[in-house]
Structure 1
Amino acid sequence: MELTKKNTSFPYWKKIIFILTAGWIVIWIYRTALTPIYPIISDYFGGASDAQLGNISSFYFLGYVLMQIPSGLLVDRFGKKTILIPGFLLFGVGTVFVAMSQTLGTLFFGSVLAGLGCGTFYGVAYSLTAEYVPENKKSLSTAIVNSGTAVGSGLGLVSSSYFVGKGIIPWQYLLLMTTVLVGVMVLVFWKNILSKKPQRKEATEIAERQSEKRSSLKDLFKPQMIAAYILYFSTLYTYYLIDTWLPNFLETERGFQGTAIGLASSLVFFTAIPGALFFSRIADKIPHKKITIIILLEIIAAGMLLFMVETKSQSLLVLGIMAYGFFGKLAVEPIIISWLGQFAPQKSIATTWIDVNKVDTKRADTYR
């Protein structure tokens, strides 16, 4: 059933797509903003070691993974809006702690808080799209939502490389500006995300569906679900390897400097947007070929990653970065998720997406 806001003909599911996309943009601006400027942060804290710098992201993902399963269960039990707004407020508080830190200990604590807050978003985002987006629009809609991660990543990398790297603003100001964006998103969530209060007829239909498809632990470990977990693990591991490793690799191994590091790294994310929209559109038009499309994209992305590592030419490396973005994680993820939706237990949809996404913390952090 298509849900619309009162006194407007604009479908609610389309509004959800725009809101969730904006949410990912804000989260990923924070996630990537510090990576290109670790040397500046090291100097600020009196010469922090590579291991200590690596702990900035490690503590963020510690908080993120600790919130994954609890947030999924809470969303399924209490509703999306009830969990989403406090989660984003906690994200904002953590960002302020990081920005105002005078010691590494305080910075790590703020990173954990930010991770805990962001950990509430994933289950909400994909349970909303699974619940409200029409079936024939799911892959494309998920791709649009995921494009927020690409836009946010690119903005975070470029803005920190340029504004902070060139000494235009201190790195703390960049995080405080991110906090303002977090506050804006909280207002958007509060005003536009509906607190679902089913009418009697709808509640009866939901109860009947849930009684017919009572979820259990076994539902999360069907062969199709296990295959998706393994595939998604590999996809996300590679993507976050790129996210954490690429800026350092470009600087230390391939001679990129200054703003060029952020610009080259951001190409992964910006070229991912047209790739995600293109392949998701194809998957929606030929849904019986989703598995074939997924396998082909994974093979091509793996080949592009190998090419990036092996080539010594900066020009060819940039082409490899763009190709990986086009064929990589953001292109294949919406198709995996829409395919997985056929097998996920509907009563525990948020918990299922969280279960698949736990791999976020299994990232290769070259700074540790």
Structure 2
Amino acid sequence: MNEKKRLNGQMPYWKQIIYILTIGWIVIWIYRTILTPIYPIISDYFGGATDAELGHISSFYFLGYVCMQIPSGVLVDKLGKKQILIPGFLLFGLGALVVGLAQNIGIVFVGSVLAGLGCGTYYGVAYSLTAEYVPVSKRSLSTAIVNSGTAIGSGLGLISSSYLVGTGVLPWQALIFATIVLILLAVTMFLYFIRLEKPNKAINTKSEKKKTMSIRALFKPRMVSAYILYFSTLYTYYLIDTWLPNFLETEKGFSGTSVGLASSLVFFTAIPGALIFSRIADRIPMKKVQMIILLELLAASVLFITVTTTSQTILVIGIMAYGFFGKLAVEPIIISWLGESAPRGSIATMYGVFNFFGMSASVIVPSLTGKISDITGSKLYAFYLAILIIGIGTFLFYLINRFVRDTNENTY
């Protein structure tokens, strides 16, 4: 149908969405990860910042990101996706510029908040676009492809930072400025490829009124179970994202570019895992809850082995296994599972609330881990805490979906 294609008529609109959204995540995650492998360099530049202060860089970014989730979801549903996405990405670029020009750690925190607020508009846009335009039979796989941008961006950020900054080739600010160029290129692509949509009109029919989002609908047992599980999943993921490079360097004997290479394995092995498990989920849609639980338990198990081993070989294998079974593998299945019951006209709001609860973990974990490290002298206890949180979250997800029935919905 012409509606699904751009004027050149060569590619369905839903496929263009997938490619463009993947690029957006690549840019966001390059920014998120370029500083984490070089925390010691950042600390020296700002006069000996503590681990807790370094953790605040990510925590302030994610604070801005989380605070934008629900407002941006509502605005996307009311004003349109493109109308929110482009100003958001421009604010992201402004925040990155403030970080790159900062002369003290406090200004870095300010820039991090601005960048987080800008990036916070992206999630609701991305997954409401896939939920609305991607065929149901391809939704989990398509979501996994879009999510692969997070893995690619993370790997590129970690490796480039470890090599170019860690070895003294470039100052750390140079990568921030390079990211700003990528942000502007992404904005140009959004302008060209993302369709301008009209704001949602008032809903008049009785049947459609029942589908509109309400506070009660946001806290059905199905939704609450997803919030709990997503918080648990992201707590561990952002511990790895922000502190794994430093953990490998300070406690596991890695050094130089090997820090970035080893850390990036988590993200690169996530791509095949996400694609494989999402394709399986699309073929057996009635078994998504069981798949989610299995992947969470596998991820927690391999992470425990990874952080407790004294062998670098087993540690590297464990990092790869966590990537294969972890957040990036299970997230597309959770998102598509939730999308099956999303009310029309409020999809971005639903995903915004969902991501708000999940991403709350990203605000807590960087600073809390830094504080644990400052107090105990090791980040190992932070990993134990993360594994415990995954276990509790998965158990609660199982109990709610096994024994609590939503109105007009089936339990598994």
Q: Please give the TM-score of this superposition, normalised by the length of structure 2.
A: 0.85
Task: Confirm or deny: 8 A CA contact 2:28 2:119 kept in the other structure.
Answer: yes
User: 1:5-63: CA deviations, max 9, x gaps?
Assistant: 12313100000000000000000000010001011111111222222212111111111
User: 1:300-337: CA deviations, max 9, x gaps?
Assistant: 11111111121110000000000010011111111111
Tell me by how many angstroms 1:295 deviates: 1.3
1:133-282 → structure 2 map (5 Å cutoff) = 133-197=134-198, 210-282=208-280
Aligned twin of 1:35? 36
1:82-121 → structure 2 map (5 Å cutoff) = 82-121=83-122
Tell me by how many angstroms 1:259 deviates: 0.8
Cα distance in structure 1, aligned partners of 2:272 and 2:27: 20
Task: Confirm or deny: 8 A CA contact 2:29 2:150 kept in the other structure.
Answer: yes
**Bigger mean CA deviation after superposition, 174-183 or 217-226:** 217-226
Tell me by how many angstroms 1:206 deviates: 9.5
Cα distance in structure 2, aligned partners of 1:5 and 1:211: 32
Aligned partner of residue 305 in structure 2, secondary structure: helix
Aligned partner of residue 152 in structure 1, secondary structure: helix
RMSD: 1.8
Structure 1, unpaired ranges of 5+: none
Task: Confirm or deny: 8 A CA contact 1:17 1:145 kept in the other structure.
Answer: yes
Counterpart code for 1:260 = S
Tell me by how many angstroms 1:141 deviates: 0.3
Aligned twin of 2:360? 361
Tell me by how many angstroms 1:196 deviates: 1.5
Task: Confirm or deny: 8 A CA contact 1:81 1:189 kept in the other structure.
Answer: yes
Aligned twin of 1:68? 69
Cα distance in structure 2, aligned partners of 1:169 and 1:237: 32
Cα distance change of structure 1 residues 289 and 169 upon mapping to structure 2, 3 Å threshold: same
Counterpart code for 1:240 = Y
Aligned twin of 1:18? 19
Counterpart code for 1:113 = L
Task: Confirm or deny: 8 A CA contact 2:148 2:271 kept in the other structure.
Answer: yes
Cα distance in structure 2, aligned partners of 1:35 and 1:203: 44
Q: Please give the TM-score of this superposition, normalised by the length of structure 1.
A: 0.95
**Bigger mean CA deviation after superposition, 15-24 or 189-198:** 189-198
Task: Confirm or deny: 8 A CA contact 2:298 2:325 kept in the other structure.
Answer: yes
Cα distance change of structure 1 residues 167 and 209 upon mapping to structure 2, 3 Å threshold: farther
Cα distance change of structure 1 residues 45 and 230 upon mapping to structure 2, 3 Å threshold: same
Cα distance change of structure 1 residues 221 and 133 upon mapping to structure 2, 3 Å threshold: same
Tell me by how many angstroms 1:210 deviates: 3.1
Aligned partner of residue 346 in structure 2, secondary structure: helix
Q: Say how many residue pairs are matched.
A: 365
| Percent identical residues | 68
- Deviation above 4 Å: which 4+ runs of structure 1? 202-209
Counterpart code for 2:42 = I
Task: Confirm or deny: 8 A CA contact 1:65 1:119 kept in the other structure.
Answer: yes
Aligned twin of 1:4? 5
Structure 2, unpaired ranges of 5+: 372-412
Task: Confirm or deny: 8 A CA contact 2:22 2:149 kept in the other structure.
Answer: yes
Cα distance change of structure 1 residues 28 and 327 upon mapping to structure 2, 3 Å threshold: same
Cα distance in structure 2, aligned partners of 1:209 and 1:109: 46
Cα distance change of structure 1 residues 207 and 140 upon mapping to structure 2, 3 Å threshold: farther
Counterpart code for 1:367 = G
Counterpart code for 2:189 = V
Task: Confirm or deny: 8 A CA contact 2:36 2:243 kept in the other structure.
Answer: no
**Bigger mean CA deviation after superposition, 251-260 or 351-360:** 351-360
2:340 aligned residue (339, 342, 356): 342
Cα distance in structure 1, aligned partners of 2:296 and 2:176: 34
